[in-house]
Amino acid sequence: MRKARTSREKTADTDVAVEADAEKPRRKRAAKTVERDEAEKPTRTRRSAARRDDESGAEAEEAPAEPPRPVLTPISRPVRDDDLQEARISGEAEEPAAALPPAPEPPEAPAITEVTRDGEPMQVIKLNDLKRMKITDLSKMAHDVGIEGYQGLKKQDLIFALLGGIADKRFEVHAEGVMELLSDGFGFLRSADSDYQPSPDDIYVSPSQVRRFNLRPGDTVTGPIRQPREGERFFALQKVDKVNFADPMSDAARERILFDNLTPLYPTRKLKLEHESSEMTTRIIDMFCPIGLGQRCLIVAPPKAGKTVLLQNIAHAISRNHPDVYLIVLLVDERPEEVTDMERNVRGEVVSSTFDEPATRHVQVAEMVIDKAKRLVEQKYDVCILLDSITRLARAYNTVVPASGKILSGGVDANALHKPKRFFGAARNIEEGGSLTIIGTALIDTGSRMDEVIFEEFKGTGNSEIVLDRKLMEKRIFPTLDINKSGTRKEELLLGPGDLVRITALRQVLHPFTPIDAMEFVLKHMRPTASNADFLGSMNR
């Protein structure tokens, strides 16, 4: 055994020696290659440097330029449907998305017109022009008039001081406001520029004027005002020129029917929201959730589902396609920055009460808006109210309503939802002429039992529902509309027979789809078309 092991060891040593002898020539060749490379390196360096100098003509070497990187282009606000991503990446810079025209700048000075009173020329100044002016321009005007201590005054107090300074024999101040009737028989004209909240520049209306012209809460009254006399604190209405933009002595104004006595009907005149081929939100709503004059529409939305942008798109479409419709946007318990954004992007009357104001203020501004809308409908106007949100309005009423002793689930008082239902139920199409359309948002999935109870109470009251899905928002698919859950009652009154057949067939195709798949399918086939008519016509082919 020992001799066998020794022979195997000798064989292994022999193999190692053979491999070492074979390795020596390879090492020598590798060493020679390295030496040759080292010797040729300066020559290659000089050649490459000469080549760069020949190509660029530069004396020093320059680093090669990096390839261009994609440019991150932010989306401008307010946004369109296709542009509702946080940003888009492209190979080169793109133009920002088209934004709505900016809001008109407030006047730097009030407009002054000439009138003749009792044979003498008078200069007329409108109070609303003063209220729309910036505080800096008002301060400059107060300095010119000679008002002392104007630097420490609030805007309403400064306007009150200016009225006292300019209301003399040579000037006549005209005011316009919405009537708030108090229990003692007199009232005040509140201004929309101050969101109808009580202020020192409100105009007093005497009980005799209320009885003579049959003034009701919410009437829009226009007329000249006079200075407060001794012992009075407010400017008073001297004469009533117009009530709801009409002559108060006309037969139509004297014989107007009370809103509650008007006959409600289903909406039959469609509000066309489609206005641009790239605006998919309004195009899809026009097909699957048509809205008519007198509609009572409820937008069901979880948090961060894009309901505010949806309201802006609807408001922009109404102001563009239906300029004769009186548009009011009511924001209850909202953030101040959202109020500013809405005021700058919506062509209409924006009335708001922010979350830092008491619940009584939310209730007061809502009642002023609904009373004004009712009075305009009595004059056969078409009015549209966009409410954000009806959930927060119901919360405010739940806070201010006297306790009834009956508490529902979630802490809702049994009588708290009566007035919010009256607000929402005021929407109707009027047989005698005029209409009141209300499009309100209701919050769901907030984690609050009270919000769930409020939504359940309002769920069956509307005749149209637009349901938003947060999953579409998370995937950045806009609009975030759940097509299968959204719809309008009696839509056959708003859609043509041919369109109704095609939309019904399309709904049958989309029924088994999830909200994401259904929206992607619709957007894929709608984007190449210029209008809804082209899209529905392409279904025949």
Backbone angles phi, psi at 428, to 5 degrees: -170, 155
Q: Is 309 annotated as a binding residue?
A: yes
The Cα-based distances of 35 to 31, 42, 217, 370 in angstroms read: 6, 13, 103, 95
Structure tokens, 250: 């006309």
Token representation of residue 126:
């409108």
Contact 103, 343 (CB under 8 A): yes
Report whether 196 contacts 368 (CB < 8 A).
Answer: yes
Please give the structure tokens belonging to residue 523: 């957007």
Peptide bond into 78 cis (omega under 30): yes
Residues in the chain: 541
- Is 374 labeled as ligand-binding? no
Q: Closest Cα to residue 201, out of 143, 126, 139?
A: 126
In 3D space, the residue among 326, 266, 317 whose CA is nearest the CA of residue 296 turns out to be 266
What sections of 216-298 are H helices per DSSP?
251-254, 280-288
**145 annotated among ligand-binding-site residues:** no
Q: Report which secondary-structure segment, H or E, holds 31.
A: helix 2-56
220 is in an annotated binding site: no
For residues 118-134, b (16+ Cβ closer than 10 Å) or e, as one string? eeeeeebbbbbebbbbe
Contacts of 317 (CB under 8 A, 6+ apart): 272, 273, 274, 275, 279, 282
Determine how many CB atoms are found less than 10 A away from the CB of residue 108. Answer: 11
Alpha-carbon gap, residue 173 to 179, rounded angstroms: 18
Phi–psi pair at 390, nearest 5 degrees? -75, -20
28 is in an annotated binding site: no
What lies within 8 Å, CB to CB, of 62 at 6+ separation is 56
307 in a known ligand binding site: yes
Q: Is 335 annotated as a binding residue?
A: yes
Instruction: Provide the pairing of β-strand 435-443 with 296-301.
Output: parallel
Distance (Å, whole) CA 522 – CA 534: 14
**What are the phi and psi torsion angles at 308 (to 5°)?**
-65, -45
Cite the annotated binding site by residue number. Answer: 304-309, 335
Cite the annotated binding site for ATP by residue number. Answer: 304-309, 335
